[in-house]
């Protein structure tokens, strides 16, 4: 009982540490294009009170609906009222909840392994970084792991509440992102392999003790929760069918050539060793290597005791299958590794216990423990560096196709111009970028009511207070402006070009009369110099 209490307290402490790493300065990093798209999509739900699932884009609806909670708590009624904290607190919450979930399988993994797994999840650079990203991935991982741990508690206790929670988690995961099909398929195949490896007897005995009513509750909860979200709370019934039609789009996208096509070892290379230029070395090799040890121990039953081998082997198979599938899919984005990294962390925790227990003498064991602690501290250091120093730096491997901090400067400068323009947030702004490649600017201009978004130079270019244009379209824009009978004079808003993303430049122009008023306002903000007295 004493060790049980201590392990619970340690997992709660790890959860608190996870919150400390994830919560500060949520507005410091520029919004990624995907984040901005989801945030603007959420704005429609917040302002109009309606949401319609679109199977071609945006993934599942849980992220949007769950963001209503912090938005309502902050008193926001419109998109312009919310900020980065409002949206990013949602993945932060589920990133922290993922750590806390390790309270549930402590008896199956062994209490030392459960504590270590919670700690590694709390400080993992990948988990910390994407817990602060307004995308679906952290919710998906949390709900998928919830399916596993709730189902385990259900198998152990035979209580209907755990069957209900398993079904709810299953429904939430399905309503979060279409890639849940990979996690679900991996779970089912891992269950079959575990059943075969345990000679079918123990698993069969466990399954036969499950009451049919529990299965009905589980399935009803999963279907009901998923349908509730996809149907937009019954206002769009066709959304339920669209949740299955979307897999045609997903499979097509996963196999087509694009900028997101990467080799099979992309994820493993990112985890084991990654360095760009003069940046720091990024590595979660500790987790990968210990996961291999944990996998071998699960298969051989060597070096671990007081664990449920059925659970450990299930996690081992699940992780291996997920890793193989995601590595085989050509279409890769770095946050997708979180699904199998979650399993790797569980195996790594088991592997850490094995390494310590197989070390024969006291002094070598202390050395091993110190090395493991030091490696964990290095993970924590990387998390700090990745989220509070290299948060928008391409030398950070988790920074992927990310906008530069210039986009924050552009949004801030346009806000300052609005303060001295008579129209305020109603002033006319034109944004012109080929192929509509102007994201995340819609997020930073969300308070402005008159913004024209163009993928070409418009035939009729109205006199605008501000024009933002892609560098390659600047000559055509100049020809358009100064080819008019009464051209308006524009000046650059910045002394040097700004970058939307690395290698993608923007030119930002402001009407001369507005710029003159802005400059005058800046001068007036400077207090006059105090005259010197004759004695000075």
pLDDT digits (tens, 9 = 90+) for 85-107: 999 999 999 999 999 999 999 99
Residue 206 and residue 344 in one domain: yes
**What's the rounded Cα separation, in Å, for the pair 42 and 49?**
10
**What's the rounded Cα separation, in Å, for the pair 344 and 334?**
16
Residue 45 and residue 193 in one domain: yes
Count of Cβ atoms closer than 10 Å to residue 439 Cβ = 21
Last-in-domain residue among 323, 355, 388 = 388
- Residue range(s) defining the domain that contains residue 492: 406-524
Last-in-domain residue among 353, 388, 423 = 388
In a domain, 534, yes or no: no
In a domain, 393, yes or no: no
The number of folded domains in the chain is: 2
> pLDDT for 298-313, tens place per residue?
999 888 888 999 999 9
Residue 424 and residue 351 in one domain: no
Q: Is the pLDDT of residue 534 over 60?
A: no
Q: Is the pLDDT of residue 484 over 80?
A: no
CA atoms within 13 A on the CB side of 281: 6
In a domain, 69, yes or no: yes
Q: Is the pLDDT of residue 408 over 80?
A: yes
**What's the rounded Cα separation, in Å, for the pair 45 and 10?**
39
Confidence of residue 1 (pLDDT cuts 50, 70, 90): very low
Q: Which residues contact 202 (CB under 8 A, 6 or more apart)?
A: 310
In a domain, 394, yes or no: no
In a domain, 382, yes or no: yes
pLDDT at residue number 252: 67
- Ranking 251-265, 294-308, 463-477, 509-523 by mean pLDDT, the lowest is 251-265
Q: Which residues contact 225 (CB under 8 A, 6 or more apart)?
A: 167, 168, 170, 171, 172, 175
In a domain, 64, yes or no: yes
Confidence of residue 536 (pLDDT cuts 50, 70, 90): very low
- Give the DSSP H or E segment for 62: helix 62-73
Characterise 25 by phi-psi region: left (phi > 0), alpha (psi -120 to 50), beta (else): left
Residue 382 and residue 475 in one domain: no
Residue 412 and residue 374 in one domain: no
**What's the rounded Cα separation, in Å, for the pair 434 and 76?**
33
Record the pTM: 0.91
Last-in-domain residue among 354, 388, 422 = 388
Residue 383 and residue 410 in one domain: no
Cα torsion for 164, 169, 171, 176, to the nearest 10°? Answer: 170
Q: Which residue has the tokens 């206002």?
A: 235
Residue 341 and residue 444 in one domain: no
Confidence of residue 202 (pLDDT cuts 50, 70, 90): low
Q: Is the pLDDT of residue 203 over 70?
A: no
Q: In a 3-state reduction of DSSP, which class is residue 509?
A: strand
Residue 349 and residue 469 in one domain: no
**134 or 2, greater pLDDT:** 134
Q: Is the pLDDT of residue 524 over 80?
A: no
In a domain, 169, yes or no: yes
> pLDDT for 210-265, tens place per residue?
788 999 999 999 999 999 999 999 999 998 888 888 877 666 665 555 677 889 99
Residue 295 and residue 172 in one domain: yes
Residue 274 and residue 413 in one domain: no
Residue 109 and residue 175 in one domain: yes
Confidence of residue 58 (pLDDT cuts 50, 70, 90): confident
In a domain, 396, yes or no: no
Residue 60 and residue 122 in one domain: yes
**What's the rounded Cα separation, in Å, for the pair 299 and 191?**
14
- Give the DSSP H or E segment for 452: strand 451-454
């Amino acid at each position: 009982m004493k060790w049980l209490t201590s392990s619970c307290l340690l997992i709660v402490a790890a959860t608190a540490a996870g919150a400390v790493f994830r919560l500060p300065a949520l507005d410091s990093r520029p919004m990624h294009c995907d984040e901005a798209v989801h945030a603007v999509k959420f704005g429609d739900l917040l302002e109009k009170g309606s949401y319609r699932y679109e199977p071609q884009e945006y993934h599942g609806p849980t992220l949007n609906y769950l963001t209503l909670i912090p938005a309502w708590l902050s008193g926001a009624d419109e998109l312009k009222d919310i900020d980065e904290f409002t949206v990013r607190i949602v993945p932060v919450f589920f990133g922290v909840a993922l750590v806390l979930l390790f309270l549930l399988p402590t008896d199956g993994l062994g209490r030392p392994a459960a504590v270590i797994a919670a700690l590694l999840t709390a400080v993992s650079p990948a988990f910390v970084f994407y817990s602060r990203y307004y995308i679906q991935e952290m919710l998906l991982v949390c709900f998928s792991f919830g399916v596993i741990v709730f189902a385990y508690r259900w198998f152990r206790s035979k209580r209907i509440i755990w069957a209900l929670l398993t079904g709810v988690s299953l429904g939430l995961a399905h309503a979060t992102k279409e890639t849940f099909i990979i996690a679900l398929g991996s779970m089912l195949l891992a269950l079959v392999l575990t059943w075969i490896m345990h000679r079918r007897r123990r698993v069969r005995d466990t399954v036969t003790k499950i009451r049919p009513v529990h299965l009905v509750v589980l399935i009803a909860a999963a279907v009901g929760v998923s349908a509730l979200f996809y149907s937009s709370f019954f206002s769009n019934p066709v959304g339920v069918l669209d949740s299955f039609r979307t897999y045609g789009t997903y499979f097509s996208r996963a196999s087509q050539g694009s900028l997101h096509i990467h080799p099979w070892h992309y994820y493993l290379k990112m985890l084991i060793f990654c360095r760009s230029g003069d940046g720091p070395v990024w590595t979660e090799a500790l987790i990968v290597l210990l996961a291999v040890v944990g996998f071998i121990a699960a298969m051989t039953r060597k070096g671990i005791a007081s664990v449920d081998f059925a659970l450990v082997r299930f996690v081992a198979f699940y992780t291996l299958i997920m890793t193989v599938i995601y590595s085989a899919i050509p279409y890769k984005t770095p946050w997708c590794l979180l699904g199998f990294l979650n399993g790797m962390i569980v195996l790594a925790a088991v592997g850490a216990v094995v390494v310590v227990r197989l070390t024969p003498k006291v002094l070598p064991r202390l050395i091993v423990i110190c090395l493991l602690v030091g490696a964990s501290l290095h993970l924590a250091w990387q998390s700090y560096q990745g989220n509070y120093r290299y948060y928008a730096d391409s030398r950070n491997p988790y920074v992927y196709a990310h906008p530069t901090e210039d986009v924050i400067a552009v949004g801030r400068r346009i806000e300052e111009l609005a303060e001295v323009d008579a129209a305020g947030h109603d002033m006319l702004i034109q944004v012109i970028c080929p192929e509509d490649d102007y994201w995340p600017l819609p997020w930073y201009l969300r308070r402005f009511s008159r913004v024209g978004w163009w993928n070409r130079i418009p035939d009729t270019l109205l006199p605008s207070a501000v024009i933002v244009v892609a560098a390659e379209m600047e000559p055509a824009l100049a020809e358009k402006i100064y080819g008019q009978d009464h051209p308006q004079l524009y000046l650059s808003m910045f002394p040097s070009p700004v970058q939307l993303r690395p290698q993608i430049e923007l030119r930002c122009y402001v009407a001369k009369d507005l710029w003159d008023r802005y400059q005058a306002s800046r001068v007036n903000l400077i207090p006059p110099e105090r005259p010197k007295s004759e004695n000075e």
